[in-house]
Chains A and B, each alone.
Chain A
Amino acid sequence: MTILCVRFQLPPMYETALPGLLGLLEEFTPVVQALPPDGALADLRGAERYFGRTALELASVIRVRALALHGVDCVIGAGPGPMLARMALRDARPGLTRAVAGDEVREFLAGKPVVALPGVGARTARTLCEYGLDTLGRVAAAPLSTLQRLVGARTGRELHEKAGGVDRGRVVPDAVSRSLATERPFTRDELDPGRHRRALLSAAEELGGRLRALDKVCRSLTLTVRYADRSATTRTRTLPEPTAHSAALTTAAYGLYEALGLQRARVRAVALRAEGLDPAEHASHQLTFDPVDEKVRRIEEVADRARAKFGPRAVMPGTLAA
């Protein structure tokens, strides 16, 4: 019961606020793991003794502080391990922290659907349900060999353990927000590639700006295109080198978009996500003899400063200004 899983109720697109909120958790324990876009795991094993309060009491303190300092409500689940804390979170509501004690783990898990288990994706869940293993109780009751036949040796073993309440996970301190995302919705079904590209350009510019503001570079870029029928296509591409350079991000985004070859698809939104964030000082950059690249980067730096001073619309690509 010493691990908390916290989900801040952030409005979407405000994940930049997450680092600040993680700071709040770090006042209680150094062992905090970010779960972007809006959650975190905190190991309170030391904190309980230090503050002389139980994890549940600390959870209330955290909620009060988050509301008071940041005006953000949060939902908290508590459990003996990270997996159980995350599952407890699913039952929690603002103001009601769900705690799973060590001795009630099996009953707690037995009635849960398999999808609730962290690490079980839609695909594994579908496979399991097809064979009647729709709750964790049934998974735990099934022979290990059968499970392994169903989902493979390693997944099967892990599944069997997890369903039995064995939680081997640890909270890995990692305060870094690991991805940034932005979305550009359209007001109507948009088919025009010109306007798609414009939205992508604007999104890539924004991501680049935010990355540079955080002093981060990203390793890969994910494009999600949402359609009128609420379905979506997602494609990820690893960048040639980690970067926060808007032009490089834009090129990558265009490449992803062109690969889809959309013609009549009714696009309702495009979203870009920068993933694999690392501190900018760790990034390597291939120098070239071409002075243009150097100049463009310097201009970008100046533009960033201008934007910091005169607002985000002070400097922008010409196509977006129109």
Chain B
Amino acid sequence: MPGFTHLHTVSGFSPRYGASHPERLAERASERGMDALALTDRDTLAGSVRFAKACAKAGVRPLFGAELAVAASAPSPDARGREPVRQDRRRTPVRGGAFIDESTPRVTFLARDGARGWADLCRLVSAAHTHEGLPLLSWEDNHADGLTVLLGPDSDVGRALAVGRPDRAARLLAPWRELYGDALRLEAVWHGRRGTGPGSLRLAARTLGFAAEQGVRPVLSNAVRYADPGLGPVADVLDAARRLVPVDPAKGLDSGEAWLKDQGAMLEAAERIVEAAGFRRGTGLRLLEQTQATAAECLVDPEDDLGMGSVHFPEPHLVGAGRRTAQRALASRAAAGMVLRGYAGRREYWERMHHELDIIAHHGFASYFLTVSQVVDDIRHMGIRVAARGSGAGSLVNHVLGIAHADPVEHGLLMERFLSKERVVLPDIDIDVESARRLEVYRAIIGRFGTERVATIAMPETYRVRHAIRDVGAALSMDPAEIDRVAKSFPHIRARDARAALEELPELRELAGRKERYGRLWELVEALDALPRGVAMHPCGVLLSDASLLTRTPVMPTSGEGFPMAQFDKDDVEDLGLLKLDVLGVRMQSAMAHAVTEVRRATGERIDLDAVPEGDPATYGLIRSTETLGCFQIESPGQRDLVGRLQPSTFHDLVVDISLFRPGPVAADMVRPFIEARHGRAPVRYPHPDLEEALKGTYGVVVFHEQVIDIVSVLTGCGRGEADRVRRGLSDPESQERIKVWFAQHAAARGYDAETIQRTWEIVEAFGSYGFCKAHAVAFAVPTYQSAWLKAHHPAAFYAGLLTHDPGMYPKRLLLADARRRGVPVLPLDVNKSGVAHRIELVSESKGSKGSREPEEPKGRKEPKGPNGPQGVWGLRLALSDVHGISEAEATRIAEGQPYASLLDFWERARPSRPLAGRLAQVGALDAFGANRRDLQLHLTELHRGARGGRGDQLPLSGGRRTAPAGLPDLTEPEKLSAELGVLSMDASRHLMDDHGTFLEELGVVSARRLREARHGDTVLVAGAKAATQTPPIRSGKRVIFSTLDDGTGLVDLAFFDDSHDACAHTVFHSWLLLVRGVVQRRGPRSFSVVGSAAWNLADLLEVRREEGLEGVAERLAGPAGAGSGAADDEQGPARRRLAGSDGRPAPAGSAARDPMEDRTIRMPTGYEMHPWADLRPAGEGPAVGRKLWHQSPGSAG
């Protein structure tokens, strides 16, 4: 019996079509005794690399192909006249949108002829994606020599046969034959369906008969959509999700037969088909042989033909090498850079540079360095801030070429961490640019190298639990509101964990009680796990290659900007040996650029951030005060805590601080010894005096990768390149054993005693691979210092930049609160003064006259006075772009038309839309034209009506500029605040908690400022607006909810341990205003947090207070645990004594309540345990923004 090969198989990479991952398909093919398997995804080759790797692992030969929608061949002359008649226009639906048109015939293409076949396949897929709307291969592009074509039931020929028109089929076959000749196959599929449609026995038989009649070879396939039987319902859900309609049993479901059947089943199918076609039963074997023969012709080798494992750089002449070789050009450029940067007289630099050039020459990577340097130069010429990050910063060549800022020799960074002779991998240089101008950078790169060499990288979006619930729910006709509620109650976990999460997570308990109601939902949700559902552009990767890029990767345009995008994701790209340059948009860079521009615009002072003086005491003072909100990398609650304990005072301290705040160092307990040693509470110890050099900077604690490389190379004398390879091996337990022996031998050979070796090994072993690359940390610390410097010296401009580009983890309103706390006056929106972006403004002597309230703390109000520097206080003027629903054009128009003399003037020249004008009036941006905001709105409405009526309506004006009053009630103070939150998403005039002062006083809530004086162990009540919630992985392997509250006087960091989750988790995740009872934990003068034991939704309580008075509140607090109280027992239980935050202290055994999740911890390779639900974006909708923080008063406009 001949074998069988599935020639038509789609995987999950066909978005919302295939139901199995390529890995699963390859495994199953191997299990079911097949030697080869084709992957023919719809419109994409994105799964090819994974498929090739999976096949290699499973021992199956991969065939590559794609299924494409193909336009009809050029119409025959007699048909041409009839074309326009068929354009019956359907009415536009009033609701729900039009059907997705999937009527185009689809044809399967298989790469046959090695590299040529693959190149053809790439070309066809790329060509199909140039079509507007859904991918469609035009007939002009439909030709290739290296491909085999399968015309199946969905092709035009197959459809003609299905409707019983063999004559038409013969006519349609002719152009195909002309193009592909002998490479054409007719594909018969039997899915046990009735009738004559696709998948029916009669169509399969007709196809076979037609093939015999036309002399085209037939093949048998199963049009596979899923690997295993029983996945039909999943295919139905995917169909529904793709067509955006519910599953309709009356419209026909998936047959359930489209799985990867084994040879026996396929032989049976073949026999049924040949019999139905009127041949002898034995002919079935012939059909299988034909299929096998077709498979055997398709020879594409993943290594040779896809180009896996080889490297392609842009041609040297494109990167300024001229006629020289790339290496020569690089050497001369590097030498020039040395002189330029003043290292010319320093021998060690020259030696280091030549050493590096040797390594580069060894690998032949010179054009890579030239390429990156070219890109960086181009970016800099455009006036965009650019900085290198990553291990590339360890190379002196990178530094002298201007790619990396920090001097690697001075900071002790090693080239070997980046690139060494021993390691054969593609080097990786990442560059950070201003996020706001990232796309400009892409355009520049594409402009420099051309679309045939540059493409962005794809990032498949895969199903996680929330999307899976939405799509399955919609397919099952569930109530949309219900779907939304269910989906939102889940944290962002994998879809396959849906049922486990229901069992285990306390905040889902209520939902779990009702889970039976949803029937098959959960099962289907889990089945969708990790299937790609769409594709987006990767936010930072850019492929750079030589001119052969398009023959090696299929390219499609991105939806928004139309950049060319390779269909492969970042891992695939590496496997394919394509050079990837990571261009990361960093919002902090944009924010700093904006701040610098603002200072220059307002004061004329030029700031060069790259040249700010090192060691500025004010900057370090700010950092040590832990008021680092908005500063790059050091603003998170954990980092603020760490900074408070570490008290950095030099750049090196910042580097260490950033390196320490990583899961690895936290897990390896490197933080505490370091801090003890730093503050002189513990002596500095070295395992051996020889290691002092390497470990001196960090008080004997190993923090950096570079230190491990040094330790290994010093003790064993193996050289740094080899030492780096050893370091990389440490993460794998098996190779760790081997390294231990090797390490002991070599160290002993160099005369170190056994004890030193033992102690050193312990350090190295504990370190694993979890330290941090110092080059990374140095690259990070530069913007950290720069942003802190800005915050210390130009606070108003700093906040203007932050608010404009919105970096960081906190919502904008929190930054505004911080600005207010630090004494930066916040000036309200004003159409005569606000710009498109946030600006700074000199506040005159009569401070706050522009309506801004007196800041709470007048400290730190003065800007430093430069030589010709500004005197007085600079305020922050809010931006027009923050108004809800404003378009860029409108904002620009308003800003350009300033100043406006009257409301009419504003209306006529700025031409805002009516809702926008209303919003501007609500937040007081038009207060200059009249005091009553509602009256202003009425005038605006009338102006709008007048404009619509086409008659120049005159406004009742009084006193020239101001508008006459109309007697409407003005906005009350709470309404104004509500409008600000609704329109600007910020409480601009004052802090929103200010209004609740009385109630909080009644409750005895401790403000964040007073909390600093609270003693360790005090039980307190705190309240505020939730700013951020996280469940990061922590050392103890428990799930801890960290949350930050903002109450106007400062931030309160909260931690909820798992014994309080039952009572608190739901409230914490799903409320915006919180009231929390907890115990103060103090670990230093500046470092404390509150361990929560009970939480209430403050918004609810305020409502109760308003409506029912204090009695009602008391009743609510006395209420059952469901309302958020409870867990009041055992305030001093052992579990609360620990604070397993960033200090990484292990949790004491025997927590009060038995934890059902204790046995489900995930063990990391290094023995570091992680809670299964940690490190997820928690449920709820992220931090509160805008109107959600505020009750909707009936009097305010929505």
- Residues of chain A whose beta carbon lies under 8 Å from any beta carbon of chain B: 113, 129-134, 138, 141-143, 146, 149-150, 188-189, 191-192, 225, 227-231, 233, 258-266
Among A134, A189, A260, point to the contact of B1194 (Cβ < 8 A): A134
The answer to whether B942 and A134 have CB atoms under 8 Å apart is no
The answer to whether A142 and B479 have CB atoms under 8 Å apart is no
Among A141, A189, A233, point to the contact of B95 (Cβ < 8 A): A233
With both beta carbons as reference points, the residue of chain A lying nearest to B91 in the complex is identified as: A261
Number of B residues near A (Cβ < 8 Å) is 37
| A-binding segment of B244-252, B260-268, B464-472, B665-673 | B244-252
Q: In whole angstroms, how far apart are the Cα atoms of A265 and B94 in the complex?
A: 9
- Are A260 and B95 also in contact (CB < 8 A) when A129-B1194, A129-B1197, A131-B934 are? yes
With both beta carbons as reference points, the residue of chain A lying nearest to B942 in the complex is identified as: A149
Q: How far is the CB of A231 from chain B (nearest CB, A)?
A: 8
Q: Does B682 contact A (CB under 8 A)?
A: no
The answer to whether B99 and A229 have CB atoms under 8 Å apart is no
Q: In whole angstroms, how far apart are the Cα atoms of A260 and B250 in the complex?
A: 23
Q: How far is the CB of B885 from chain A (nearest CB, A)?
A: 15
Q: In whole angstroms, how far apart are the Cα atoms of A265 and B480 in the complex?
A: 13
The answer to whether A260 and B481 have CB atoms under 8 Å apart is no
Q: In whole angstroms, how far apart are the Cα atoms of A225 and B96 in the complex?
A: 12
- Are A146 and B246 also in contact (CB < 8 A) when A129-B1194, A261-B93 are? no
Q: Which residues of chain B (1172-1198) have a CB below 8 Å from chain A?
A: 1194-1197
- Are A189 and B1197 also in contact (CB < 8 A) when A263-B93, A265-B95 are? no
| A-binding segment of B495-503, B520-528, B807-815, B967-975 | B967-975
- Are A233 and B934 also in contact (CB < 8 A) when A142-B967, A146-B966 are? no
List 21 interface pairs A-B (beta carbons < 8 Å), by A numbering: A131-B934, A131-B968, A132-B970, A132-B975, A132-B1195, A133-B968, A138-B969, A146-B966, A227-B96, A233-B94, A233-B95, A260-B91, A262-B93, A262-B94, A263-B98, A264-B93, A264-B96, A264-B97, A264-B99, A266-B96, A266-B477
Task: Please provide the 3 A-B residue pairs with the shortest distance between their CB atoms, ordered closest to farther.
Answer: A265-B96, A261-B91, A189-B477
Interface readout for B449-486 with A: 1 if CB under 8 Å, 0 if not?
Answer: 00000000000000000000000000001011100000
The answer to whether A131 and B937 have CB atoms under 8 Å apart is yes
Q: Which residues of chain B (1008-1033) have a CB below 8 Å from chain A?
A: none
In this complex, which of A132, A134, A189, A192 has the most chain B Cβ atoms within 10 angstroms of its Cβ? A132
Q: How far is the CB of A271 from chain B (nearest CB, A)?
A: 15
Q: In whole angstroms, how far apart are the Cα atoms of A320 and B662 in the complex?
A: 69
Residues of chain B within 8 A of A261, CB atoms compared: 90-94
- Are A142 and B968 also in contact (CB < 8 A) when A228-B477, A266-B246 are? yes
Residues of chain A within 8 A of B245, CB atoms compared: 191, 264, 266
Q: Does B253 contact A (CB under 8 A)?
A: no
The answer to whether A149 and B938 have CB atoms under 8 Å apart is yes
The answer to whether B971 and A260 have CB atoms under 8 Å apart is no
Among B94, B97, B251, point to the contact of A260 (Cβ < 8 A): B94
Residues of chain B within 8 A of A233, CB atoms compared: 94-95
Q: In whole angstroms, how far apart are the Cα atoms of A132 and B250 in the complex?
A: 53
Known contacts A149-B938, A230-B479, A264-B97; 20 additional CB pairs below 8 A are A129-B1194, A129-B1195, A131-B934, A131-B938, A131-B968, A132-B934, A132-B1195, A132-B1196, A142-B967, A143-B966, A146-B938, A149-B942, A188-B477, A191-B245, A192-B250, A230-B480, A261-B93, A263-B93, A265-B95, A266-B245
Q: Which residues of chain B (706-759) have a CB below 8 Å from chain A?
A: none
Residues of chain A within 8 A of B968, CB atoms compared: 131-133, 142, 146
The answer to whether A262 and B95 have CB atoms under 8 Å apart is yes
Residues of chain A within 8 A of B1195, CB atoms compared: 129, 132, 134
With both beta carbons as reference points, the residue of chain B lying nearest to A225 in the complex is identified as: B95
With both beta carbons as reference points, the residue of chain A lying nearest to B932 in the complex is identified as: A132
In this complex, which of A129, A130, A188, A259 has the most chain B Cβ atoms within 10 angstroms of its Cβ? A130
Residues of chain A within 8 A of B93, CB atoms compared: 260-265
The answer to whether B95 and A130 have CB atoms under 8 Å apart is no
The answer to whether A227 and B95 have CB atoms under 8 Å apart is yes
The answer to whether B246 and A191 have CB atoms under 8 Å apart is yes
Residues of chain B within 8 A of A266, CB atoms compared: 96, 245-246, 477
Q: How far is the CB of B148 from chain A (nearest CB, A)?
A: 37
- Are A192 and B96 also in contact (CB < 8 A) when A131-B968, A134-B1195 are? no
The answer to whether A229 and B937 have CB atoms under 8 Å apart is no
Q: In whole angstroms, how far apart are the Cα atoms of A142 and B968 in the complex?
A: 6
Q: How far is the CB of B973 from chain A (nearest CB, A)?
A: 13
Q: How far is the CB of B940 from chain A (nearest CB, A)?
A: 11
With both beta carbons as reference points, the residue of chain A lying nearest to B975 in the complex is identified as: A132
Q: In whole angstroms, how far apart are the Cα atoms of A258 and B90 in the complex?
A: 11
The answer to whether A259 and B938 have CB atoms under 8 Å apart is no
Residues of chain B within 8 A of A231, CB atoms compared: 95
Q: In whole angstroms, how far apart are the Cα atoms of A13 and B181 in the complex?
A: 68
Q: In whole angstroms, how far apart are the Cα atoms of A42 and B1021 in the complex?
A: 58
The answer to whether B91 and A150 have CB atoms under 8 Å apart is no
With both beta carbons as reference points, the residue of chain A lying nearest to B243 in the complex is identified as: A264
Interface readout for B943-970 with A: 1 if CB under 8 Å, 0 if not?
Answer: 0000000000000000000000011111
Q: In whole angstroms, how far apart are the Cα atoms of A234 and B942 in the complex?
A: 30
Q: In whole angstroms, how far apart are the Cα atoms of A205 and B481 in the complex?
A: 33
With both beta carbons as reference points, the residue of chain B lying nearest to A130 in the complex is identified as: B1197
With both beta carbons as reference points, the residue of chain A lying nearest to B90 in the complex is identified as: A261
Q: In whole angstroms, how far apart are the Cα atoms of A138 and B969 in the complex?
A: 8
- Are A192 and B251 also in contact (CB < 8 A) when A149-B966, A260-B95, A261-B91 are? yes
Q: In whole angstroms, how far apart are the Cα atoms of A129 and B922 in the complex?
A: 13
The answer to whether B246 and A229 have CB atoms under 8 Å apart is no
Q: In whole angstroms, how far apart are the Cα atoms of A264 and B967 in the complex?
A: 49
Interface readout for B69-97 with A: 1 if CB under 8 Å, 0 if not?
Answer: 00000000000000000000011111111
With both beta carbons as reference points, the residue of chain B lying nearest to A191 in the complex is identified as: B245
The answer to whether B480 and A229 have CB atoms under 8 Å apart is yes
Residues of chain A within 8 A of B99, CB atoms compared: 263-264
Q: Which residues of chain B (94-117) have a CB below 8 Å from chain A?
A: 94-99
In this complex, which of A113, A129, A131 has the most chain B Cβ atoms within 10 angstroms of its Cβ? A131
In this complex, which of B90, B95, B248, B481 has the most chain A Cβ atoms within 10 angstroms of its Cβ? B95
Q: Which residues of chain B (250-304) have a CB below 8 Å from chain A?
A: 250-251
Residues of chain A within 8 A of B244, CB atoms compared: 264
Q: In whole angstroms, how far apart are the Cα atoms of A230 and B1012 in the complex?
A: 51
Q: In whole angstroms, how far apart are the Cα atoms of A303 and B457 in the complex?
A: 70
The answer to whether B938 and A132 have CB atoms under 8 Å apart is no
Q: In whole angstroms, how far apart are the Cα atoms of A143 and B966 in the complex?
A: 8
With both beta carbons as reference points, the residue of chain A lying nearest to B95 in the complex is identified as: A265
Q: In whole angstroms, how far apart are the Cα atoms of A149 and B967 in the complex?
A: 12
With both beta carbons as reference points, the residue of chain A lying nearest to B922 in the complex is identified as: A130
Residues of chain B within 8 A of A228, CB atoms compared: 477, 479-480
The answer to whether B97 and A229 have CB atoms under 8 Å apart is no
Q: In whole angstroms, how far apart are the Cα atoms of A231 and B480 in the complex?
A: 11
Q: How far is the CB of A132 from chain B (nearest CB, A)?
A: 5
Q: In whole angstroms, how far apart are the Cα atoms of A20 and B911 in the complex?
A: 59
Q: In whole angstroms, how far apart are the Cα atoms of A230 and B478 in the complex?
A: 12
Residues of chain A within 8 A of B971, CB atoms compared: 132
Q: How far is the CB of A293 from chain B (nearest CB, A)?
A: 29
Residues of chain A within 8 A of B98, CB atoms compared: 263-264
The answer to whether A230 and B481 have CB atoms under 8 Å apart is yes
With both beta carbons as reference points, the residue of chain A lying nearest to B1193 in the complex is identified as: A134
With both beta carbons as reference points, the residue of chain B lying nearest to A187 in the complex is identified as: B477
Q: In whole angstroms, how far apart are the Cα atoms of A114 and B970 in the complex?
A: 18
- Are A113 and B967 also in contact (CB < 8 A) when A130-B937, A265-B95 are? no
Q: How far is the CB of A212 from chain B (nearest CB, A)?
A: 32
With both beta carbons as reference points, the residue of chain B lying nearest to A259 in the complex is identified as: B91
Q: In whole angstroms, how far apart are the Cα atoms of A191 and B480 in the complex?
A: 16
Interface readout for B216-259 with A: 1 if CB under 8 Å, 0 if not?
Answer: 00000000000000000000000000001110101100000000
Residues of chain A within 8 A of B90, CB atoms compared: 261, 263
Residues of chain A within 8 A of B941, CB atoms compared: 150
Q: In whole angstroms, how far apart are the Cα atoms of A263 and B1195 in the complex?
A: 39
Q: How far is the CB of A95 from chain B (nearest CB, A)?
A: 25
Q: How far is the CB of A135 from chain B (nearest CB, A)?
A: 8
Residues of chain A within 8 A of B942, CB atoms compared: 149
Q: How far is the CB of B916 from chain A (nearest CB, A)?
A: 14
